[in-house]
Structure 1
Amino acid sequence: MRRLLHGERRLDKAQELRCEYDAGASIRGLARRHELSYGTVRTLLLQAGTTLRGRGGRRARLNTPGEAR
């Protein structure tokens, strides 16, 4: 069962999610781990002032000249 977050608990959860997101966690991963919906995690991240990453995960690393593929 999903828990409703209000007041200080909501602010604390938003900051906790932001720290994990800023450390590289995905929104989907956070939703699973914290048993929240994707939309709730996204909303909490935005309320915490998080700048969301673009879609698509990590970008492929470009090879430097002379580096094997």
Structure 2
Amino acid sequence: MTRKSPARRLTGPERDRVAAELKTKYEAGTSIRALAAEAGRSYSAVHRLLADADVTFRPHGGARRGSSAS
């Protein structure tokens, strides 16, 4: 079994660039979990980058299922 090496710390312009890319994908509908997996970073690291990029977060839980109003 192989272990993933820890992600390298992002600083300065590189951090800004990655945050902007993540913001674009998140605003296009990609979930934070999917972004984290794609970027090889933790959920909380991606959430922090998005928050620093002034993202307006979607509500938790996704689409609701249930009976439709009659």
TM-score range, shorter chain: 0.7 to 0.9
What's the CA shift for 1:19?
A: 0.1
Alignment: residue pair count? 65
Summarize the alignment of residues 1-69 of structure 1 with structure 2, pairs less than 5 Å apart: 1=5, 2-60=7-65
Partners of 1:13 and 1:28 lie apart in 2 by 16
Q: Structure 1 counterpart of 2:44, which letter? A: G
Question: When the two structures are superposed, what TM-score results if normalisation uses the length of structure 1?
Answer: 0.82
| Runs of 5+ consecutive residues of structure 2 not aligned to the other structure | none
One-letter identity of the residue aligned with 2:22: L
Structure 1 segments, 4+ long, off by >6 Å, are none
Letter paired with 1:39: S
Query: What root-mean-square deviation, in Å, do the aligned CA atoms of Structure 1 and Structure 2 show?
Result: 1.8
